Structure 1
Amino acid sequence: MMKVYKSKIDWWLIILIGALFGYPVIEGIINKDYLMSLVFFGLLILFFFMFWSIQYKIVGEQLKVWTTKIDIHSIKKVYRTNNPLSSPALSLNRIAIVYNKYDEILISPKDRSAFIAELLSINPSIEVVLQ
């Protein structure tokens, strides 16, 4: 059975990306530079499509994040973090998943408690630290 958890998205990130790519679109229209408007509008659509497609799938005993597959039995620890490093997480309200020996991935599931509960139902030995 497959469970899908969407990424939580911070509102300020949407505003930031919208402003960064929306301003050149408007500027291009005002200055009749339609090619610039078209390029930045395309980039804006691409970013928002990527944002809404970020999801975390639990398929059997595997966690799939983009193209990364993690055996849930290899997960050692899940802890809360606000680390701003680039990751498949659209919110700074993140959790880090420590797996294998030294691997770690940062994610931000919208329903964090259900996501962690699902991981624990498969691997009850996961250490969870959410302070």
Structure 2
Amino acid sequence: MSVYKSKVDWWLILLIGGILCYPIVDGMMTQEYVLSLVFVGLSLLVFLMFRTVKYKIEGQYLRIWTTKIDIHSIKKVYRTNNPLSSPALSLDRIAIVYNKYDEILISPKDRSAFIAELLSINPAIELVLQ
């Protein structure tokens, strides 16, 4: 089993950190400690969520959270910057097209090793990485 972590954009950390830290500081300054505690909890939840974004290759399957994709059903892998919601913490993404109409966007930190392992299992995958 191989595990690939998601690439994380620095601006995403700053954006989410700023959005979540402002109410914490504001709650402390106005002595509304419940507000601060709620946003500390949200910050911890977001941090834990960031830590769980991984892509696992388990034999013939690619597991992304609860989604299990048969690697032999993957038709195409292409590069994209699509900002749609997906299990990717960076806009430097790849799209995996599988089955007949399914597609998922991911952002593995070590993209070349990830794609090489996919190709070693299914050499028929079409690559478009320009």
Range into which the TM-score falls when normalised by the shorter chain: over 0.9
Q: Letter of the aligned partner of 1:38 in structure 2?
A: L
Does the residue aligned with 2:21 lie in a helix, a strand or coil? Answer: helix
| 1:53 positional shift | 1.3
Q: Letter of the aligned partner of 1:114 in structure 2?
A: A
Structure 2 stretches lacking a partner, 5+ long: none
Inter-partner Cα distance in structure 2 for 1:46 and 1:25: 15
The superposition leaves residues 15-58 of structure 1 with CA deviations (integer Å, 9 ceiling, x where unpaired) of 00000010000000011100000000100111011012100000
| Residue 76 (1) aligns with residue 51 (2) | no
The answer for the alignment partner of 1:114 in structure 2 is 113
The answer for the alignment partner of 2:125 in structure 1 is 126
The answer for the alignment partner of 2:95 in structure 1 is 96
| Residue 63 (1) aligns with residue 98 (2) | no
Does the residue aligned with 1:109 lie in a helix, a strand or coil? Answer: coil
Q: Letter of the aligned partner of 1:46 in structure 2?
A: L
Structure 1 stretches lacking a partner, 5+ long: none
Q: Letter of the aligned partner of 1:100 in structure 2?
A: N
4+ residue runs over 6 A deviation: none
Could you state the TM-score of these two structures normalised by the residue count of structure 1? 0.98
Inter-partner Cα distance in structure 1 for 2:7 and 2:85: 15
Inter-partner Cα distance in structure 2 for 1:118 and 1:34: 49
